[in-house]
Amino acid sequence: MIRKDIIDLFRVTPGKKFRLKDHNPGWKQDGFEDLGKDAVKERAQEVLTKNLADLAEAQELLYADGRHSLLLVFQAMDAAGKDGTIKHVMSGVNPQGCQVFSFKKPSAEDLAHDFLWRYTKSLPERGRIGIFNRSYYEDVLVVKVHPELLGRNVTQDKVGKKFWEARYEDITAFERHLARNGTVVLKFFLNVSKDEQKRRFLERLDRPEKNWKFSPSDLAERGYWDDYMGVYEDAIAATSTDAAPWFVVPADYKWVTRAVVADVVTATVRGLDLAYPEVTPEQKKRLAEARKKLDAE
């Protein structure tokens, strides 16, 4: 486990000034510096294995209790490790209780509706974990960097500060609505550095088995790095709430990203005060009868 007080450092506190530059993408847990590379790998593996056991337990409780659902939102620059982190979280839980949705460019049908429409159709039902690989936040991130993507999906004459503020407000209201109805919303920005992104892109180019992961458009978007950092900072500052907090997760070390996300998820589920359904005296009687019948076979 990564210590709770450290996890709290990654949580964006509502109402407090938020600056991305105060968050170090290359953070790794104290005590790991003095270890050799192999020892770090080994310790990291231990942490991750423990994570999976905790996640499995948390999900079972969520499912058994059946009152809440969990929505995990992942946003990041390319190659920050969204896919690997989602894979890690998923590998710890029962696939029947978990669903992943990846959101790409909206379709014509999507664009014919309000911007939240396509996401609401994929929300998790009670007892389940829903994972959004990209989300409605794209509508205030990539779309804010490239406003031409709005197409006809806009009724205002001017797309300026007010337009985006209205969208932050809509998102916050949407998430508050979800929270009030039993969906716990956790949002993760995987904070990778520009240098580490370059290293990962080069690795994708160098290794044939990783070539498929590279798309020339990734490089084009890298050209807008500073714009993206700006829109992320604004969006996170405007939409981190108690009902749906943002976590800015260090992402230069993959094992750190995975461990932090898994810890936040398990700690949140444990904090929900969930319970396995109680067996009533009437049900107990039925169970005893069933046992009698089986014994008599």
DSSP 208: G
Q: Does residue number 142 form part of the binding site for ligand ATP (CB under 6 A)?
A: yes
Q: Does residue number 134 form part of the binding site for ligand ATP (CB under 6 A)?
A: yes
The stretch near Mg ion (CB under 5 A) out of 70-78, 115-123, 148-156, 190-198 is: 70-78
CB-nearer residue toward ligand ATP: 91 or 268: 91
CB-nearer residue toward ligand ATP: 98 or 140: 140
CB-nearer residue toward Mg ion: 27 or 201: 201
Q: Does residue number 152 form part of the binding site for ligand ATP (CB under 6 A)?
A: no
Within 233-252, which residues bind ligand ATP (CB under 6 A)? Answer: none
> Which amino acid appears at position 7 of this protein?
I
CB-nearer residue toward Mg ion: 13 or 102: 102
Within 76-95, which residues bind Mg ion (CB under 5 A)? Answer: 78
Q: Which residue has the tokens 């007892």?
A: 127
Within 85-104, which residues bind ligand ATP (CB under 6 A)? Answer: 102-104
Q: Which residue has the tokens 């520009």?
A: 194
> What φ, ψ does residue 166 adopt, rounded to 5°?
-65, -40
Q: How many residues bind ligand ATP (CB under 6 A)?
A: 15
Taking CA 146 as the corner, what is the angle to CA 124 and CA 107, rounded to the nearest 5 degrees? 45
CB-nearer residue toward Mg ion: 40 or 142: 142
Q: Does residue number 204 form part of the binding site for ligand ATP (CB under 6 A)?
A: no
Q: Taking the CB of residue 65, how many other CB atoms lie within 10 A of it?
A: 17
CA distance linking residue 154 with residue 167, whole number of Å? 11
CA distance linking residue 48 with residue 278, whole number of Å? 32
Task: Report the candidate in 229, 274, 270 with the shortest Cα–Cα distance to residue 77.
Answer: 229
Q: Taking the CB of residue 185, how many other CB atoms lie within 10 A of it?
A: 22
Q: Does residue number 83 form part of the binding site for ligand ATP (CB under 6 A)?
A: yes
The binding site for Mg ion (CB under 5 A) comprises 78
